[in-house]
Structure 1
């Protein structure tokens, strides 16, 4: 799966999606309900790193596979929505089949 630009994009997308859900579902409640701001600092930093990697992988797959502007915009918007990366991954997987 990691041998192609699309495979790397899918893996990074899943990791980025998981980090986003951890940030929203675990770290934010810990910060606001249990007064543990360190959780957001750690999860937020990791998510930021994974988001940058996601954007770089998106650029790479865009040029390698000649994605349209609409497909690139959809992939970017998916990264901003909770569970969006998982929906995008399922669609990409269906297109490959």
Structure 2
């Protein structure tokens, strides 16, 4: 489940980059606001999915209060999900494999 959450986090991070470093500069520097509404909507949906996936995928996986706080705050800062991913990867690698 941590692997799924990591994927959601990367998608959320990519939508943040697209919004802040592509759509918004086009709007404010080149007077081309056309990308902001669709990219903003996609980013908003990815943000909500990130928060929901955090609870569904990480609950009961042995995360400390600090790791929960860090993972939550990562969604609120540009590039935060990318910076948080190495910690999630370490947690994923130490998670016991599920038996089929």
- Provide the TM-score with structure 2 as the length reference: 0.83
Kindly tell me the number of residue pairs found equivalent between the two proteins.
93
Per-residue CA deviations over 1:31-82 (Å, capped at 9, x if unaligned) read: 1112122211111000000001100110112324142332111101111222
Report the structure number with the largest CA radius of gyration. 2
Match of 2:49 in 1: 53
Match of 1:40 in 2: 36
In the TM superposition, residue 83 of structure 1 has moved relative to its aligned partner by 1.7
| More relative contact order, 1 or 2 (CA 8 Å, 6+ apart) | 2
* Consecutive unaligned residues in structure 2, runs of 5 or more: 95-100
SS in 2 for 1:65: coil
CA distance in 1, matches of 2:59, 2:74: 19
| RMSD (Å) for aligned C-alpha atoms | 1.5
Please identify which structure carries the higher helix content.
1
Match of 2:63 in 1: 67
In the TM superposition, residue 91 of structure 1 has moved relative to its aligned partner by 1.7
Which residue of 9, 13, 20 corresponds with 1:17?
13
- Provide the TM-score with structure 1 as the length reference: 0.85
